[in-house]
């Protein structure tokens, strides 16, 4: 019989960790795109922020239970950034349909990269999870 209290507590911890990692990824994306330094680490800060953007989606994918969640959560910070940028810096009445395509083209590569890294992390999770189930 499965202890539902222990499973529920582990799920809550996992979900809180996912939320914190998504927020950290969001800060790294905003920091990199807008050239804002959130933590003064000197000249190493850009390198750390860049590596963070590549590592956090994989970690989010590792912790996610489903591939849909992994992809959606890794893309979410960049999607929110794109929406905020469009709303604040490029009001709709200044954008025609051709400019929307150009803006979407600029963010599509980064969104696919983040989503792919999240899916990669989820696949790594599945590989090790299958091995643990077979060995048991």
Task: Say whether 3 sits in a helix, a strand or coil.
Answer: coil
**Cα–Cα distance, 89 to 33 (Å, whole number):** 14
* pLDDT confidence tier of residue 121, bands split at 50, 70 and 90: very high
Q: Supply the pLDDT for residue 17.
A: 92
pLDDT, tens only, 25-46: 988 888 887 788 888 888 888 8
* pLDDT confidence tier of residue 128, bands split at 50, 70 and 90: confident
Q: Supply the pLDDT for residue 87.
A: 73
Lowest mean pLDDT of 2-11, 16-25, 40-49, 58-67, name the range: 2-11
User: Is residue 115 exposed (0-12), middle (13-18) or buried (19+ Cβ within 10 Å)?
Assistant: buried
DSSP single-letter state for residue 11? H
Q: Supply the pLDDT for residue 95.
A: 62
pLDDT, tens only, 61-96: 999 988 999 999 999 888 888 777 777 776 666 666
Give DSSP secondary structure letters for 34-46: HT--SS--GGGHH
**Cα–Cα distance, 87 to 16 (Å, whole number):** 29
User: Is residue 1 exposed (0-12), middle (13-18) or buried (19+ Cβ within 10 Å)?
Assistant: exposed
Q: What is the CA radius of gyration of the chain?
A: 18
**Cα–Cα distance, 64 to 70 (Å, whole number):** 5
């Amino acid at each position: 019989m499965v202890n539902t209290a222990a499973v529920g507590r582990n799920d809550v911890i996992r979900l809180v960790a996912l939320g914190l990692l998504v927020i950290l990824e969001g800060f790294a994306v905003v920091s990199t795109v807008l050239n804002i330094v959130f933590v003064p680490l000197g000249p190493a800060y850009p390198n750390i922020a860049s590596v963070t953007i590549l590592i956090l989606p994989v970690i989010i994918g590792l912790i996610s239970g489903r591939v849909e969640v992994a992809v959606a959560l890794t893309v979410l910070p960049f999607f929110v950034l794109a929406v905020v940028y469009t709303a604040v810096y490029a009001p709709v009445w200044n954008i025609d349909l051709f400019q929307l395509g150009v803006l979407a083209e600029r963010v599509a590569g980064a969104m696919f990269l983040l989503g792919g890294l999240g899916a990669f992390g989820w696949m790594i999770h599945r590989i090790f999870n299958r091995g643990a189930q077979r060995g048991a």
